[in-house]
């Protein structure tokens, strides 16, 4: 099923109704935590619980627990549907905000990896 960030965002783009994507885009950035039981729960289900791909489960698990990772991925997806640039600083802050316990170097490296993966997806 979903092997990486591109697969996840492709799936969400294709399967979320336009009205849902618009609602996500309209949510103020300081209220992204409100997506925990909506979009982020959907991401947890897709990427972790119902994902048939061992490669995908490993990929997403490297980001942290399902709760932590879905928060970061949901934050990134909200910028994606807004058409805003996803930066390493934004992703690094999201990783920290969602309580993923990385060293500073690991956090920067994971943020860079996710941004590069996203940039390959949008190109």
Element of type H or E holding 66: helix 66-82
pTM: 0.95
Phi then psi for residue 37, to 5 deg, are -95, 5
- Write down the pLDDT at residue 107: 96
pLDDT in tens, 41-89: 999 999 999 999 999 999 999 999 999 999 999 999 999 999 999 999 9
pLDDT at 35 over 90: no
Residue 26 has a pLDDT of: 95
Tell me how far apart the alpha carbons of residues 51 and 112 are, in angstroms, rounded to a whole number: 24
Sketch the domain layout of the chain as residue ranges: 5-122
């Amino acid at each position: 099923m979903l092997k990486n960030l591109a697969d996840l965002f492709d799936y969400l783009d294709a399967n979320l109704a336009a009205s849902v994507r618009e609602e996500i885009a309209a949510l103020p950035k300081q209220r992204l935590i409100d997506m925990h039981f909506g979009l982020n729960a959907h991401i947890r289900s897709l990427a972790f619980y119902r994902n048939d791909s061992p490669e995908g489960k490993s990929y997403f698990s490297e980001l942290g627990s399902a709760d932590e990772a879905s928060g970061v991925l949901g934050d990134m997806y909200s910028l994606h549907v807004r058409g805003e640039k996803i930066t390493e600083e934004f992703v690094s802050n999201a990783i920290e905000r969602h309580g993923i316990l990385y060293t500073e170097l690991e956090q920067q490296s994971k943020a860079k990896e996710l941004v590069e993966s996203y940039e390959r997806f949008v190109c």
